[in-house]
Structure 1
Amino acid sequence: MIVQACINGSRNPDFHPLIPSTVEDMVRDAVAVIEAGAAELHVHPRDRAGRETLAAVDETVAAIRQSCPGTFIGVSTGAWIEGNEERTREAIARWHVLPDYASVNLSETDAPGVMDLLHRKGIGVEAGLATVADAERFVKTEGHDRVLRILVELDHESDDEEAMRSCDGILSVLRKADVKRPILLHGYDQTVWPFVRRARVEHFSTRVGLEDGKHLPNGEIARDNAELVSAAVAIFWHM
């Protein structure tokens, strides 16, 4: 069980003024969230104009690793980042400063190919499942038993009850297939904290940060990523 910090995602400063969009910002927040109790990091590297790009992985991972030695660092491989399957694979193939893991969304067409490429480069795979269909595809995908962990991410549901039902369905598919990999469970916006609490009760890992939401459990807007992580750590270890 860990608390992972997801510090930026695809969010922009319109969502929160302290979204880290430069390498320097990401390093700043990486140091702060680790000090606040996060066990590892999930980041979306960006270019100097603030645009997400897989080409910035080497620079970003190297900078964070220098400031947070020994910390697990993960990145996204979301299809929207490069907007083309071939460019996505080419960008990953060019990585030299390797992240410890990378997230792959099973809803995306090329997910099996990206997973295979990451495995061949020695990068851990965090398999993202947002729907029951994703889970069913995952358990049929070659190499699914070698992933680092499964990311159950409920980010499209309209309310807590719907999100909980989706989670139940995904977990049911995994249990029926006798999947033994660790699970990290997280919500989005209004479902962030219900799923932090569910993760704690069911002994899963979880994540929080400005990628997933900006509100604290009491409804106030968090000052920054570190305050969100502190709140999650308090739930996880003092609930």
Structure 2
Amino acid sequence: MFIKAALNGSRSKADHPAIPITTDELVAAARNAVLAGANAIHFHVRDRDGKETLEAAFVNEQVKAVKAAVPDTPVGISTGAWIEPDISKRVELIRQWEILPNFVSVNGHEPGFEEVVQEILKKQIGVEAGLNSAQAVENFISKGLLKECFRLLIEPEEQELNIALATVKAIEDKLTDKLPHQTVVLHGVDNTCWEILKVAKYKGYDLRIGFEDTLHDPSGAIAESNEALVKAAFHWDL
């Protein structure tokens, strides 16, 4: 069972005191998630004020530290448009990275996503295609970039389970016969997180769990840590 631990996302300490923000916190969270069974680590880089950033100084520092903490585990970060809305600036920031993650996620619904993918590929970093809709799939296909992604993230954002599952099906329909080599991760968020994790297991997809996706364990209680969420994912619906 492959599980990617998504450590923080856009959440803050106001959401949960254990959200890892600083480099030391990210290192500890990554190490503990891997000890709990995570096979990959994903996080959003933060600056000294805790704000999401793509600036090279912080990417270099945090990626280096996390990779050193879990040397046998792939480490990835986000390139979400909200971090730097100006596409030219975003690409230039990525161009300046020196310590490289093993992979990044790029969202297919974001304007200019193809420029981000192309810059990431130039740096020989793996690309995960973030697919929150059938249109996002079409965007990757129309730019000839779906085949360049080593992993596909099916990630419905709807909070009603039946609507989220309809989005999953629409994405899957677009992907039929277009998966020559990619692995697929399916995950939900907040209200749908655990039920969609169950669906992912049933379908044989890889899994994602962590504070980015939910603050709660399967019982509905507030989770103690990313480590606890990873452990819960192994046993959910057994």
TM (normalized to structure 1)? 0.95
Pairwise CA distance, 1:179: 5.4
SS in 2 for 1:42: strand
Pairwise CA distance, 1:67: 1.2
- Tell me the residue number matched to 1:130: 132
Contact 2:54 2:94 in 1 (8 A): yes
Q: Map Cα deviations across residues 19-40 of structure 1 (whole Å, 9 max, x no partner).
A: 1111111001001100111101
Show the 5 A alignment for 1:44-63: 44-55=44-55, 56-63=58-65
Pairwise CA distance, 1:151: 0.5
Q: Map Cα deviations across residues 44-92 of structure 1 (whole Å, 9 max, x no partner).
A: 0101110111112111010011111121000000011122111110111
Contact 1:215 1:222 in 2 (8 A): yes
Q: Whose helix proportion is higher, 1 or 2? A: 1
- Tell me the residue number matched to 1:166: 167
Pairwise CA distance, 1:178: 5.3
Percent identity (aligned): 37
Partners of 2:178 and 2:72 lie apart in 1 by 34
Contact 2:121 2:127 in 1 (8 A): yes
- Tell me the residue number matched to 1:39: 39
Contact 1:139 1:177 in 2 (8 A): no
- Tell me the residue number matched to 2:18: 18
Q: Relative to structure 2, which stretch is displaced further, 137-146 or 35-44?
A: 137-146
Contact 1:36 1:226 in 2 (8 A): yes
SS in 1 for 2:121: helix
Partners of 1:222 and 1:152 lie apart in 2 by 24
Partners of 2:152 and 2:173 lie apart in 1 by 14
> Unaligned 5+ residue runs, structure 1?
none
| One-letter amino acid of the structure 1 residue matched with residue 21 of structure 2 | S
Contact 1:38 1:233 in 2 (8 A): no
| One-letter amino acid of the structure 1 residue matched with residue 156 of structure 2 | L
Q: 1:169 to 1:69 in 2, by over 3 A?
A: same
Pairwise CA distance, 1:6: 0.3
Q: Map Cα deviations across residues 74-130 of structure 1 (whole Å, 9 max, x no partner).
A: 000001112211111011101111100000000111111111111111000000000
- Tell me the residue number matched to 1:181: 182
Q: Map Cα deviations across residues 1-24 of structure 1 (whole Å, 9 max, x no partner).
A: 511000001001121111111111
- Tell me the residue number matched to 2:209: 208
Pairwise CA distance, 1:141: 2.0
| One-letter amino acid of the structure 1 residue matched with residue 191 of structure 2 | Q
Pairwise CA distance, 1:158: 3.1
Calculate the aligned-residue CA RMSD, in Å: 1.3
| One-letter amino acid of the structure 2 residue matched with residue 11 of structure 1 | R
Q: Map Cα deviations across residues 160-182 of structure 1 (whole Å, 9 max, x no partner).
A: 00000110000010005455421
- Tell me the residue number matched to 1:153: 155
Contact 1:139 1:174 in 2 (8 A): no
Contact 2:150 2:181 in 1 (8 A): no
Q: 1:209 to 1:105 in 2, by over 3 A?
A: same
- Tell me the residue number matched to 1:142: 144
> Unaligned 5+ residue runs, structure 2?
none
- Tell me the residue number matched to 2:80: 78
Contact 2:105 2:128 in 1 (8 A): yes
Asked if 1:199 is matched to 2:176, the reply is no
Q: 1:206 to 1:77 in 2, by over 3 A?
A: same
Asked if 1:119 is matched to 2:107, the reply is no
